[in-house]
């Protein structure tokens, strides 16, 4: 479990660093990004988490189209697109039993 948590934390850290690197290309004020995702793709926020250095990770999805987008909002208020795709499904899984 600790190994999985470590890998997930590292993955989020890498996404934040990637977002900082492409800041000028795929970033805009958060309100602009959220409005565009809603108007163009019908996506709404379905998940949120806090990453390193106060960055906010959000997952937006659309039940209608199945599209999804992951964003990172940096402390300066800029929101960067990290990943997007199709065929999003919500899943509920139980934790494996403790061994």
Higher-confidence residue: 88 or 37?
A: 37
- State the pLDDT confidence band at 99, using cuts at 50, 70 and 90: low
Q: For 66, left (φ over 0), alpha (ψ -120 to 50), or beta? A: left
CA 21 to each of CA 15, 25, 85: distance values in angstroms, whole numbers, following the listed order? 10, 9, 21
- State the pLDDT confidence band at 90, using cuts at 50, 70 and 90: confident
Q: Distance of alpha carbon 87 from its chain centroid, rounded?
A: 16
Note the pLDDT tens digit of each residue in 53-71.
899 999 999 999 999 999 9
Q: Quick check: 30 and 79 in contact, CB under 8 A? A: yes
> Within 13 Å, how many C-alpha atoms sit on residue 32's CB side?
9
């Amino acid at each position: 479990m600790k190994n999985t948590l470590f890998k997930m934390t590292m993955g989020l850290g890498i996404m934040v660093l990637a977002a900082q690197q492409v800041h000028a290309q795929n970033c805009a004020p958060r309100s602009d990004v959220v409005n565009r995702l809603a108007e163009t793709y019908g996506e709404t926020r379905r998940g949120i988490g806090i990453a390193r250095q106060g960055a906010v990770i959000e997952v937006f999805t659309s039940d209608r189209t199945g599209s999804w987008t992951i964003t990172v909002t940096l402390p300066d208020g800029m929101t960067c697109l990290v990943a997007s795709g199709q065929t999003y499904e919500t899943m509920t899984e139980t934790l494996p039993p403790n061994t």
